[in-house]
Structure formats: C-alpha cells, structure tokens
Amino acid sequence: MAKVYSYIRFSTPEQAKGDSYRRQVERIRRYCRENNHVFEDHLTIEDLGKSAYSKANLESGRLGLFLEAVEAGKIENGSILFVESFDRISRADLFTALGVLGKLLDAGITVVAGDREYTAATVRNNQFLLLEPIFTFIRGNEESATKGMRVREAWRHKRDSGLPLTRQMPAWCRLDGGKIVLDEEKAKTVRLLFEMARTMGAKRIARVLNRDKVPPIAWRRRKVAGWQPSYISKILSQPAVIGHFQPCAMKGGKRIPEGPLREDYYPQAVTPAVFHSVRSIMKARANDRGRVAIVRRNLFTGLAYAGNKDAPMHFVNKGNDAAKGGQYLVSDTSVRNYGEAWWAWPYDHFERAFVHYVIGVDFSGVILPGPERKSLEDELQYQNGQLAAVEGKVSRLIALAEGGGDIPQLKARIDALRKEAAQFKEAKADLEARLYVAASGSVALQDTQKDLKRVLDRLQKPDGRDAVRTTLKRFIHRLSLWPFGLGQWKRPSKEERTQGLACLPCFEVQFQQTDMRQIVVVHPTDPTILFWSEYFDETTNSAAVFTNNTKAILALMFPKRKGRSKQRRKP
C-alpha cells in the first residue's frame, strides 16, 4: 500500500487561531477513508506560518526538506502527496510553482489536490490536466501580490499620518487613547539597567536582578523565566529607549529601512546622553584588549604601558609562589625578548599602590566647576552615538547592495547617509574643540571616583574586578609605568632599589580627554607609602616635577630615624 504524505501550510501564525488547520486535516482524513488509505500522523508535513509567495516554505520550510528527500530517492516511488489546493505548495511565480510540481511528478510521486490525482503518466497522456494547476498557481500569485501591495499602501498611509503603526511596542510603553505613553514603573527598571550597565555586563546584571527578585519587564503580560542576558543587551542597545523608530519593509526575506527615522515616535525612557554613554562603555568593554587571566583578572589591560613607549604591559603569571615566580606586569618588548632588561613590576605591589592612590588622591584639582563642560560632554557622546549609528546603517546597506538589492535606491540612501555622517563628524570636531577650551585641560572625575570607591569593596571577587576595570577606563587614558625609576631603563641592583632616589618605582597617570597628568612615587617594598605630585600638563617635564619634589620624596621614602614623623600620604 502506498504511503500517504499530507502537506499543511498557512502563511501567518494568526491563521492558526482560525479554521485553516482543522479544514486541511479533515480533507486529508476524508480522502484516506474514501480511497482505502491509512492516515498516519507522522507522515504529515507542516509549514505553519511559512509563506509560499516568498518561497519560505521551499527555502527554509519542511516542504523544501521533503523535495530534497524526493530528489535523493529517500521517498518511495508511488507515494502520495495530498494538498488541499495547489496554492498550498506555491504562490510564487508560475515557473517556480510548475518546477516544484514537475520535480514531484518526475520522481514518481502522485500529487493529489482536492479530488484529483496527478501522476507523470496521466499528465503525459493528457497535458490539458495541467491547466487547473496553472490557473491555480497564477491566481494564488496574483492574490498574494495584490494583497501585499494593498498592505504596503495601508502601512505607508498610516506611517505618513503620524499615528501609532501598531499596538506592539517596547515593554516600557503602552497605548493610552491612541497615544503612546511611558509606563513609569517599567521605565524605572530600564533606567536601572542603564545605571548598572556602567559597571556590569549583561550576565552579571541578570544575576543581580534575578537574585533581588526584580520583576522582568515584558510587552503585555507574558510569562518569562526571569531576566535573560540577551534581553538585557537588547534593551541597552535599542534606540527605542530614546524614542527612535525606523520603519522597515520586508524585501527578499530581509528587513529594509523604508522612510525616514522617526526620532520622537516613542517617549524617552532615558536621555540620549545616557544611552550613548552606556553604549560607549559597552563597546569599550567588548573591545577590551588582551586575554582575561584565569587566575587573576588584570585591572590595567589596555591602560598600562612601559614608560613613555607604546609597549603595553601584559599580565604574566609565573606561579603563586612569589619566591619562585609570582605575577607581574611585563612590557610587550620583554615578553617578545626585544629589549635590554626584563621590564616588569610585581603585580600585587603595583595594584595595591594604585588602589591606595585612587582612594587617597583628591581629583578636584583637575575639575573645573560649571555646567558648560557637562553639557558639552553629553552633546559629544550624543554625536558619537549618532555617528556610529549612521556608519552602521551604511555598512548594512552596502551589504544588502552586494547581496543583489535594489542598487539605485540603496546607492541614493547610502549617499544621503554619508552626507549625514559628514555633518556629525564636523559637529563632533567642533564640540571637541569647544570642550578643550571649556575644560582648560580638566576632566570631571568626582562622580567616577565615587563609583570606583564603591566597587573597590568587591575587588576580591571576579565581577568586582571587572567593574573596577570598566570604571578605570572612564577617566584614565594611560598609565606609564617606570618600575626602575623615572626615565631609567636599566634594571638596578638591590642596593640601588632600596637607597637611590632615582631608582624608586613610579607611574604617571594621564587622564581622559585632557592633558592633565600626575606622578606617583611608590616605596619599593611597602606599596602603601606613596607620594603624588601636584597636577601638571604636557608643557611640564615629568623629570622636572620629580626633581622639584626631591626633598618631600626623600623624607617620605627614607626617613633618617624611626621617631621622625612621616609625611605619608596614606588614606
């Protein structure tokens, strides 16, 4: 007895709520009863929510897999494929649809559509039998094309009218009398996510929120299994939080931007400055240079360099036994054996010194009061974010053009975006110039220092070290390490390291978005004994700063007698 395969398909998930599925199943059962065939559920091929007009059922659906099995000879000759109508198989152009039917018939498959059977033999004997499937294919294709055109026109009219396009919207918004308004409770959660993202990644945020039983936000009242890192990342990167909405249309199975970006479509859950600031932090975290150590996470990856050279300092682990090995920050030239000395600083010594420096130093010396700088910084972050968004759109459109999209239309859109990007770059350059003048070489560090002191309490935990590293990059541009003394490239002897002023280890701190710097001198054996200079700019020589503070450094590092008061700058 021939096996009977049944094919059930409808185009949209909404049709599952109607009668389409039940009707198709009932027809196949009736055919089997009337023709003494056995209906077997496991031989049913279902493409639910797959369009036959866009060929989705052939390219990514189960019908495509069935055709591959037919062509490979895995389906027995004489098997039957039952469909309610030929337009269930295909609503694409006539040549595609007839090609599918021809492959089935040539492979010895009997196709049953409605109440009529089609085999290769019957079609060869009477080619007029193909008229019915041809007319059905043509009608189905025209119906889908007409329906698609009318839907596009309706959406275009709705979009141009300025009204909400759909009831589906971000989780922090809702419809109120035909107007999109902010759901304040959920918006508070969104703002909390952005605040946490300054020092945490999506996985860590999910763990904290689930631990604290913060209810997840979702569109409508969907049951969700707690917070998911992927959903948190989606919210943090979603321009909808600042009100943006880009209408799109499906072309070739891909979403193509259609029409201009609507910047005030949704109410803002966070300000553009906050959004782009967090996006910049996330991007810096994603592009974090260097491999994270398994034993200990290096706080200074991408920040520490060997003296005044461009050789980064790498974390090198030679074992936990300090007598035999230890952990070090080692210059890239030493790692590659391209230098005269083993340029290294014991990691624990440097980290403890740096932590004491951060806790004890007063950053107000590099801060200028007034709202002008904050306003300029926010605007600069916004321009950076807008520029990155436009450049991303250009890259996607170029990829679509290479994939065979509508070349003239895409080219016009790319040219327009490149002009827009040029305007953002010009505005960015102007802001950077104004920011430099307004700052006079300063950078706002007080809030960042508070954040850093807060996360330092978790320094012994892996997630706490990640938070410290993220915060450091918000205000430090570079750390120039001199483990053998300022300007010294030759490794000193043990006697010189403990007695000579010139051999005292030190590091220079260069702050973000400014030329302000500071020299920090560290005791060779006790990293809690520190001396840090006043702030100076690039016009001042570091050696001159060191020399001008010789007496203070000597008194602090090498007191002549124990009873003498130490000028220790220690918190």
State the catalytic residues: 11
Are β-strands 44-48 and 110-113 bridged in parallel, bridged antiparallel, or unpaired?
Answer: unpaired
Read off the tokens for 283: 């991007």
Q: Is 404 exposed, middle or buried (0-12, 13-18, 19+ CB in 10 A)?
A: exposed
Q: For residue 378, give Cα distances in angstroms to 6, 236, 275.
A: 61, 18, 10
Do 460 and 493 form a contact (C-beta atoms < 8 A)?
A: no
Q: Which helix (H) or strand (E) holds 235?
A: helix 229-236
CA distance 435 to 433: 5
Task: Using the structure block, give the residue that is written with the tokens 């010396």.
Answer: 365
Please name which of 423, 424, 438, 466 lies closest in space to residue 276, comparing C-alpha atoms: 424
Q: Kindly report the backbone phi and psi dihedral angles of residue 532, in degrees, each rounded to the nearest multiple of 5, phi listed first.
A: -125, 140
**Identity at 362, one-letter amino acid code:** D
- Do 86 and 93 contact (CB within 8 A), yes or no? no
Spell out the SS3 assignment of 461-482: CHHHHHHHHHHHHHHEEEEEEE
Contact 98, 134 (CB under 8 A): yes
Q: Where are the alpha helices (H) located in 296-370, listed in sequence order? A: 332-335, 347-360
Neighbouring CB atoms inside 10 A of 219's CB total 14
